[in-house]
Amino acid sequence: MTILLEFDKIHYAYPNCRESLSGVTFSIKKGAKVALVGPNGAGKTTLLLMFNGVLEPLKGRVLFNGEPLRYDSRSLREVRKKVGLVFQNSDTQLFAPTIYQDVAFGPLNLGMTPDEIKIRVTQSLAAVGLSGYEKRPPHQLSGGEKKRAAIAGTLAMEPEVLVFDEPTSSLDPAGAADLMELLDELNAKGTTIIISTHDVELAYHWADQVILVNKGTVIHAGTPEEVFTDPALVTSSNLRMPAVLEIYTELVSRQMIVKTGSPKSVLQLVSSLEQSSGKPRAETGHGTITVCNVDATGTEEIRVWIADHPGSRCGAMGARAKELAERGSISLDFSYGVIDKGILRALVGESSLLLTPASMVPHVFRRIAGYCKESGNTISVIPMKNAKTLPETGS
């Protein structure tokens, strides 16, 4: 992947304060999922405000597509079309009387016609699962809905990069899972996603790249495995090891499990335990996973499928899939970690139907294929529309 954003020896200090950033250097590739991780006061928010020029470095350069950011009004307007920033407190971004006016604000300032603005607003609200909310005032929304409305306002500018400051703060676990699924869906469409967080669990299982920040410097930039399997790095940043990794490390130290690759999920930990148990792999008896593209399927077809497959589980990933399930009174057995839960059910002989938007269908197939390649298990994946079994996933 090509380098999209670069920080080159960045220094910054707020007025009458010591340096918040000291010689920060790292790069981010196009299409990546990046987590800036560090304790409170590490400098994460200061870094985020430099991605689209809200703050200008005292020394050093920020480059976008190989070109240094310029800080005149015209140049900043251009970079903010490409790099959208979503703040931790959504109320700071929602100021208009209605959601439509809020989301329309950016396109309006770009000089678009009313018809063009309407298309942008409609598409952006649909992308975040807020279709039909156009006339709602922001103060009537829940915390999760406000976060989605703020994202919609940024999406209306069609940015290449989305930057989030503590995206799951103030959200309950279900709301946080929904939001991260939305970010995965946007990333699957090609958007580069950057988040700041002190949640090591979130960073470990979600990100492609982790940039570990503490006391205004970058301690390390690398894969989640490189960062979180190094106790010295974690300790020096006042963080802790992710729970699944801590359990795995303890099991290895007690020789209860053979050391392999570091698991990033419960599914991978279970696979490691099974492989270490010496239990022969079952050649038959695995359930299947059926994938339903909700952008091309109606609720009646889904209900018919469920009626024809009694005992099967059903899960939905993404806002549109969950909206469709609610609209069609389709009961969900799981609504987060859907792919892993479908695989876990298949391993004990149960079949599942996974509801997902079109943009995430390839991701589902890749994720299951990757698991089967690693584990040696074989799970059949079936597209719902034609009920034709694809070549089996795995060996």
Same domain for 191 and 261?
Answer: no
Give pLDDT, residue 386.
Answer: 45
pLDDT tens-digit series, residues 111-152: 889 999 999 999 899 888 888 899 999 989 988 888 889 999
Residue span of the structural domain in which 354 resides: 289-394
Nearest to 363 by CA among 354, 350, 374: 354
Q: What is the model's pTM?
A: 0.84
Same domain for 156 and 253?
Answer: no
Average pLDDT over residues 170-182: 81
Same domain for 53 and 154?
Answer: yes
Strands 352-356 and 59-64: unpaired
Give pLDDT, residue 336.
Answer: 84
Same domain for 166 and 264?
Answer: no
The answer to whether residue 363 sits within a structural domain is yes
The answer to whether residue 22 sits within a structural domain is yes
Give pLDDT, residue 1.
Answer: 66
Same domain for 272 and 302?
Answer: no
Same domain for 126 and 102?
Answer: yes
Q: End-to-end CA distance of the chain: give it in Å, rounded.
A: 29
Average pLDDT over residues 199-207: 92
The answer to whether residue 233 sits within a structural domain is no
The answer to whether residue 365 sits within a structural domain is yes
Question: How far is residue 2's CA from residue 315's CA, in Å, rounded to a whole number?
Answer: 35
Question: How far is residue 321's CA from residue 291's CA, in Å, rounded to a whole number?
Answer: 12
The answer to whether residue 156 sits within a structural domain is yes
Question: How far is residue 149's CA from residue 133's CA, in Å, rounded to a whole number?
Answer: 9
Question: How far is residue 379's CA from residue 104's CA, in Å, rounded to a whole number?
Answer: 45
Q: At what angle do helices 173-188 and 319-327 cross, to 10 degrees?
A: 120
Give pLDDT, residue 267.
Answer: 86
pLDDT tens-digit series, residues 230-253: 888 888 888 888 999 989 988 888
In the chain, how many domains are there? 3
Give pLDDT, residue 179.
Answer: 83
Question: How far is residue 377's CA from residue 389's CA, in Å, rounded to a whole number?
Answer: 17
Same domain for 271 and 365?
Answer: no
The answer to whether residue 34 sits within a structural domain is yes
Question: How far is residue 258's CA from residue 276's CA, in Å, rounded to a whole number?
Answer: 6
Average pLDDT over residues 302-326: 91
Question: How far is residue 64's CA from residue 271's CA, in Å, rounded to a whole number?
Answer: 41
Same domain for 324 and 218?
Answer: no
The answer to whether residue 234 sits within a structural domain is no
- The CATH number of residue 25's host domain is 3.40.50.300
Same domain for 111 and 257?
Answer: no
The answer to whether residue 322 sits within a structural domain is yes
Same domain for 272 and 309?
Answer: no
Same domain for 20 and 148?
Answer: yes
Tokens of 153: 């306002």
Same domain for 49 and 155?
Answer: yes
